[in-house]
């Protein structure tokens, strides 16, 4: 059957790629080689007895690929993954990570334009910040709360959650801590929480980039390249990474266990569609994720946009 395949299957067009909301949350891989051949991108596992196993990846349907320790990848595989719309996150021991992103010509800047408007206007940013806080609570909050009051309520909510989960799992005197200089000295819950949160940040980054927005232009968080990703990821920690981390308090490898467990957790929660909807809600835009045809690139002018690709020289200029 493989001999009858064409030499190349071709790359999917922008219209053929799945919507961001329909993509898988993320795919976590470790101790494998990621390669590209004429049939697609595969994870190659080599066993001690010399046997090999190839597992082909649904590149056009993945939102984020987490590459854990022991992985290697080829330039061709990275090119194929990113051109199909995936964001690659290298996840190392101790919560170390780096991000690579893609630029898709068919992605509109509509969301980025709104994001800039919100961040640069104090009143609109304050309204967005209050929306972010209130979205974390399952019950409605009183109207007219200040930002200081909302921060205090959020801090209390997380303290209660930590205390409740610690009691459920019979963990005495738990305290959230993260010291990147001495990661191994931390307890399993903190290791799992850090690892799970980094995975969540990577997924939020991939969704934000896929929608054409910027992970750096945060609402609550500020001054860091993934500030908006932190804003969005914080909406889901209380129901995903935090309870999972406490459940792994006896794990011998909580970092890896957290990353492996979250894939099924996020799929069941339909996290990607929720993120898309929540991002639009935070920026006060009608939720819409259909990419449609590639946007026309225009020229900016104080009196309105002008078509690009036009020679605007007058007779006097020639």
**For the whole model, what pTM was predicted?**
0.75
The string of DSSP letters for 201-257 reads HHHHHHHHHHTT--TT--SSS-SSTTHHHHHHHTTTGGGTHHHHHHHTTT-SSHHHH
Helix (H, G, I), strand (E, B) or coil at 98: strand
Pairing assessment for the beta strands 72-73 and 33-37 based on DSSP bridges: parallel
Mean predicted lDDT score pLDDT of the chain: 81
Gap between the Cα atoms of 79 and 35, Å rounded? 11
Q: Which residue has the higher pLDDT, 28 or 186?
A: 186
Of 45-54, 85-94, 233-242, the range with the lowest mean pLDDT is 85-94
Query: Largest Cα–Cα distance of the chain, in whole Å?
Result: 83
The domain spans of the chain are: 2-100, 110-282
**Overall fold of domain 2-100:** Ribosomal Protein L15; Chain: K; domain 2 (3.100.10)
- When pLDDT is cut at 50, 70 and 90, the band that residue 99 belongs to is low
CATH top-level class of 110-282 = mainly alpha
Most confident of 124-128, 206-210, 291-295: 124-128
- Kindly give, in sequence order, each residue whose CB lies less than 8 Å from that of residue 256, ignoring residues fewer than 6 positions away: 30, 68, 195
Query: What would the pLDDT profile of 30-40 be if each residue is shown by its tens digit?
Result: 888 999 988 88
List strand residue ranges (DSSP E) for the chain, in order. Answer: 27-29, 33-37, 40-46, 52-56, 64-67, 72-73, 87-91, 97-100, 298-299, 306-307
Helix (H, G, I), strand (E, B) or coil at 150: helix
């Amino acid at each position: 059957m493989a001999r009858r395949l064409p030499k190349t299957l071709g790359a999917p067009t922008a219209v053929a790629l799945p919507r961001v909301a329909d993509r898988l949350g993320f795919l976590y891989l470790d101790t494998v080689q990621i390669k590209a051949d004429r049939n697609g991108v595969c994870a190659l596992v080599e066993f001690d007895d010399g046997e090999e196993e190839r597992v082909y990846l649904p590149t056009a349907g993945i939102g984020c690929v987490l590459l854990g320790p022991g992985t290697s990848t080829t330039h061709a595989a990275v090119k194929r993954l990113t051109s199909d719309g995936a964001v690659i996150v290298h996840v190392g021991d101790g919560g170390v990570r780096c991000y690579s992103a893609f630029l898709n010509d068919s992605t509109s800047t509509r969301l980025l334009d709104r994001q800039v408007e919100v961040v640069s206007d104090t009143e609109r940013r304050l309204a967005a910040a209050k929306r972010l806080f209130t979205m974390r609570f399952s019950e409605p909050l009183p109207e007219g709360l200040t930002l200081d009051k909302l921060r205090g309520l959020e801090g209390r909510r997380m303290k209660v959650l930590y205390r409740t989960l610690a009691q459920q799992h019979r963990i005495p005197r738990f305290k959230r801590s993260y010291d990147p200089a001495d990661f191994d000295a931390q307890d399993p819950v903190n290791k799992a929480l850090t690892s799970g949160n980094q995975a969540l940040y990577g997924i939020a980054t991939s969704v934000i980039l896929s929608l054409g927005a910027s992970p750096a232009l945060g609402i609550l968080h500020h001054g860091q390249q993934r500030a908006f990703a932190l804003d969005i990821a914080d909406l889901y920690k209380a129901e995903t990474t935090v309870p999972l981390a406490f459940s792994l308090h006896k794990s011998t490898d909580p970092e890896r266990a957290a990353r492996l467990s979250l894939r099924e957790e996020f799929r069941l929660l339909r996290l990607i569609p929720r993120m898309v909807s929540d991002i639009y809600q935070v920026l006060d835009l009608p939720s819409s994720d259909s990419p449609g045809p590639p946007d026309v690139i225009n020229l900016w002018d104080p009196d309105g946009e002008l078509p690009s690709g036009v020679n605007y020289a007058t007779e006097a200029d020639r």
